[in-house]
Structure 1
Amino acid sequence: MIAVIADDLTGAAELAGIGLNHGLRTEVSTTVDEHCDADLLIIATDTRSLFVVQAKETVYKLTVQLQQLKPRFIFKKIDSVLRGHIIEELQSQLTASGLKKAMIVPGNPHHSKKLIGDTFYYNGAPIHLSNFVNDPTFPALSSNIIELLRADGSISLIKKADRLPSTRIIIGAAENEDDLKYWIGKTNNETLLAGSANLFTTLLESLTTPQKVKTLDPETTGRRLFVFGSTFYQGKLNLNDGRHNNIPVHYVPAATICAETSGDHVHGLFASHVASSIVAGNNAIIAINPDFIKDIKVDPVLLSHKMADIVKQVIDHTSLHELLIEGGATAWAILERLNIKKLYPSKLIAPGVIHMRIAGNNQLCLTLKPGSYPWPAHVWETNNYTCI
């Protein structure tokens, strides 16, 4: 077994799709099942949205539990643009595992996120010049890798010619796929490896792949609800007569966004309206209007729980076949609200876009996507839709 701890749900799903593509019997879970017999077990967390003390405690506990399964190794999935409590979580995982060294290989060269020297680049420019400087929780205020990781002097950047230390956390720069292969070749089972989906793909390619496992999709009803929970990327919606790619868009009311609490009664009318739209046309989008939040401070965690409450009420009003969710924190809140704890990947639709079955539920399925990845064009096709 290979085990992974991911700091958000869509990142976990992304690695699940990679595992599926490599023929691994893959499971995504929010807890560690002592009876799990998967080839690849990915533990999804929401530590990126937690306070640092809570994040460290969560990672420590999960590491201890995973070790009881005796995995070949435990990979640490981190954000490809280095948001989250990366250093603190790695320190906690090292303590729990007894390992002395961790290597971070930042970025995702396949998606133009590269560490060249000590500067982190996104789409060819230093990341602090990109929109990631406006991230509401972890803004990229610098492109220097040490500053971007919010690290101290005990964390060091290692060059290829350098001798690797036997202890502490180190960083390996990766400008291309060959760099990823180089750093993987420099690690062993005494090294905690941390990185993005690109690094994990390269890691799997270096291992023996079991025979591909056939997976089955659940039966379809054709009713879909898109949930765009990431406030950071909402400006990308192109509306035409209230529709995005011919699917009606329903913006969460400003009063709901600004409310200090999250309660079912606040969202009932809006959820009913969305459900009616799905009944009429099989598809609907729930999103955050960027104009509603332009001049106000929004608690992203509370907003995720409000979105989850709305989704639960939409499901209560009408049967759904598929939830398509953008944004890891929103996806996590929805799974919590629906009491979903275990997922099985059934198709890699596009890089980062994963279709998944829900354990114990043959009607509803999930498609998850990180906020920074694009939706593939065919998900917008609304005629004769079948589960893919």
Structure 2
Amino acid sequence: MRGSITVVADDLTGACEIAGVGQRFGLNAIVTLEDQLPGTDAGLRVFDSETRLAQPASATTSLSAIGRSLGASATASIFKKTDSVLRGPLRAELEALASALGLRRVLLIPGNPALRRVVRDGRYLIDGKPLHQTGFATDPHHPARSSDVRDLLGHGGNMPVSTARLGQPLPAEGIVVGDVSSDADLQAWAAAVPPDTLASGSSAFFGAWFAARNTAQATRAPDRLPEGPTLLVSGTTFGPQRQRLCRDVSVDRISLDRLSEIDDWGQRLLKRLEREPRAVACVDGPVSPESRAAANIGTALAEVTSRVFQAGAVRHIVVEGGATAASIARRLGWLTFEGVHEWALGIVSLRPVAAREAFFTVKPGSYPWPDSILPLLFPSSRTASP
């Protein structure tokens, strides 16, 4: 595949996850939150449309504009990154992008077998459990009410939705969701994407899709921790991950009913960073689907992180949760990033173009922390234990 590859993601952690896959294959990656993809000679351009929490009509407008700017001639080098558990106005996004690119068919492979997220007979399973019986049932923005991928994509769209097993003929049009249970399945689907089809799905499928079209071999750079003080900010609303970090005694917590006390919280973090090279910030309290707590968490964490960074207390910011990562990046004026290092699946460090002395590491909120990563970031933290 010649020329650059363009990927459209719906949130910042997803965009960074794709950049990490590119880094693994030796591609120079650029990630942007700008309205236009940057003019660059990077081999991988990743655009965060920030539509995960958008209404379908807004997502349609955004993805239609992106598709028109890319042009139909580039369809073979365009990939649509989706949430691996199908959250967000996904059907509207896929339909809008495909239409703008002049395509009538989308192949969607959302599974990520390495995280035990699979699709079998058109049903989404995590660790063998139906999706709506996992922690995603209480997602504040997109609670899973079914494990049927057709239900998860929603009804009433312009393109029909169907499911398929490997080896079955694909329908001539519509959104086709493929069963996937293993890395071998990912590779087989990647090799089977027809040229007149928009490829879409998880970062794992992107890796297979890229490998099927290139001779570059995947490699991993040695782990290297950026020098200087580090602030880890947990903004995830995914219950198991919030509990894992917030239970640690070294975490500076603030309760949901005290989010206005930013000054005190910021001072506590600054004092901790005067004594220690690492600090963790998170928000205590349950986040219900009916509340605005998730949005308030992102705003509060962006403000306190900005104050700590502007005070010169940190140069490495680690963020758990896509919406929070985007809020912090925009609050700091960091809209374009260069890929630096992939620590593990979904955990990627970038360098803000506007602040090259800083490092920005992100992790999807629903992904578990690998036991090999947290000890590198926080050697004395108890969070490294399951």
Same fold (TM over 0.5): yes
The correspondence of residues 162-311 of structure 1 with structure 2, limited to 5 A, is 162-209=168-215, 221-232=227-238, 233-237=241-245, 239=247, 242-243=249-250, 249-257=251-259, 266-290=261-285, 293=287, 297-311=291-305
- The 1:149–1:381 alpha-carbon spacing in structure 2 relative to 1, beyond 3 Å, is same
- Indicate which of 341, 349, 352 corresponds to 1:358: 352
Shift of 1:178: 2.4
**CA distance in 2: counterparts of 1:250 and 1:296, whole angstroms:** 26
**CA distance in 2: counterparts of 1:59 and 1:168, whole angstroms:** 17
Contact 1:346 1:355 (8 Å CA) reproduced: yes
> Are 1:18 and 2:41 counterparts?
no
1:38-58 CA-partner distances (Å, limit 9, x unpaired): 111111232112222222211
- The 1:19–1:278 alpha-carbon spacing in structure 2 relative to 1, beyond 3 Å, is same
Shift of 1:71: 6.7
Backbone CA RMSD of aligned residues: 2.8
SS in 1 for 2:52: helix
SS in 1 for 2:358: strand
- The 1:12–1:124 alpha-carbon spacing in structure 2 relative to 1, beyond 3 Å, is same
Partner of 2:368: 374
Partner of 1:84: 88
**CA distance in 1: counterparts of 2:291 and 2:104, whole angstroms:** 41
- The 1:365–1:188 alpha-carbon spacing in structure 2 relative to 1, beyond 3 Å, is same
**CA distance in 1: counterparts of 2:302 and 2:246, whole angstroms:** 24
SS in 2 for 1:88: helix
TM-score (norm 1): 0.87
What code does the residue aligned with 1:237 have?
Answer: L
1:126-169 CA-partner distances (Å, limit 9, x unpaired): 11211111111111111112112224582111233432222222
Partner of 1:101: 105
Partner of 2:384: none
Contact 1:2 1:71 (8 Å CA) reproduced: no
What code does the residue aligned with 1:204 have?
Answer: F
> Are 1:3 and 2:6 counterparts?
yes
SS in 2 for 1:5: strand
What code does the residue aligned with 2:212 have?
Answer: S
Contact 2:12 2:48 (8 Å CA) reproduced: yes
- The 1:86–1:49 alpha-carbon spacing in structure 2 relative to 1, beyond 3 Å, is same
Partner of 1:262: none
User: Where do 5+ consecutive residues of structure 1 fail to align?
Assistant: 244-248, 260-265, 384-388
**CA distance in 2: counterparts of 1:24 and 1:285, whole angstroms:** 32
Contact 1:2 1:41 (8 Å CA) reproduced: yes
User: Where do 5+ consecutive residues of structure 2 fail to align?
Assistant: 381-386
Shift of 1:253: 4.0
> Are 1:146 and 2:140 counterparts?
no
> Are 1:127 and 2:131 counterparts?
yes
- Indicate which of 317, 320, 331 corresponds to 1:326: 320
